[in-house]
Structure 1
Amino acid sequence: MAADKKGKDLLIGAVVGTVLGAVTALLLAPKSGRELRADLAEGVHNVSEKTQQVAGTVLDKSKQIASTISEKTQTIGSSTSEWAGKVKDKALSWKNGKTDEAVEVPVAATVIVTEEKESEGEEK
């Protein structure tokens, strides 16, 4: 969310700064009306191109961020499902009277959490 706001603020700042700079330079330069209009048209064209470039960059970065978030969410979801299955199995074992396996439930949860942290460290 903050990255989207930074990208949007950067885009707005770039456009406003470019427009103000171009207008100031054109209005302060001693030129005829025809030359001034041609320079203004060129400035508008340049601003349009730069805006499209920045928008393309922001779009690419947004897609990369969305992809990363999707991958992390899937990883967490599969790990959570795996962990829930193990806890369920241990709980059923305990319910059926196998008390030795029931003691392992907290240990199994710790192992899964530790494995997740290790895999996150390798990805970075």
Structure 2
Amino acid sequence: MKIKDLLEKRKQANKKAAKKKTAKSIAVGAGVGAAVGLTAGVLLAPKSGKETREDLAENAKVAAEKVAEGTKVAAEKVAEGTKKAAVLVKGKVAELKNKKVEEEPQEELENEVPEN
């Protein structure tokens, strides 16, 4: 594998990581947006103060649980992707080292053979 190929794979891995980060940001934004919308809806509903406060507390708890779960799932996916990328990189580095070791003896033999 050539250096160009490794650079291309690294570029693709970086793009994939950027997409994951974007997806995570969108998920968090959607969760926060839902919580804000829910809170606004509860505040504007015609209920007594006590009922509104109870609804707010319950909705805040539900929203926090959803955001925590979404964040956990996103973090797990990122960790899994990172592990896979690390394994791939280690494998390619080992492959390149082995290839270099195989090429070096040939070069040494070529240098040792006297030309007539």
TM-score by shorter chain over 0.5: yes
Does residue 47 (structure 1) correspond to residue 89 (structure 2)? The answer is no
Aligned to 2:61, the other structure's residue is in SS state helix
Calculate the aligned-residue CA RMSD, in Å. Answer: 1.8
2:88 equivalent in structure 1: 72
Please list every run of 5 or more consecutive structure 1 residues that lacks an aligned counterpart in the other structure: 100-124
SS of 1:58's equivalent?
helix
| In structure 2, C-alpha distance between the alignment counterparts of 1:80 and 1:28, rounded to whole Å | 64
Normalising by structure 2, we get a TM-score of 0.76
Runs (5+) with no aligned partner, structure 2: 1-16
**TM-score under structure 1 length normalisation:** 0.72
Aligned structure 1 segments of 4 or more residues deviating by more than 2 angstroms:
none
Work out whether residues 28 and 71 of structure 2, in 8 Å CA contact, stay in contact via their aligned partners in 1: no
Relative contact order higher in (CA < 8 Å, ≥ 6 apart): 2
Identity %: 24
Describe the shift of the 1:29–1:85 C-alpha distance in structure 2 as closer, same or farther (beyond 3 A).
same
Larger radius of gyration: 1
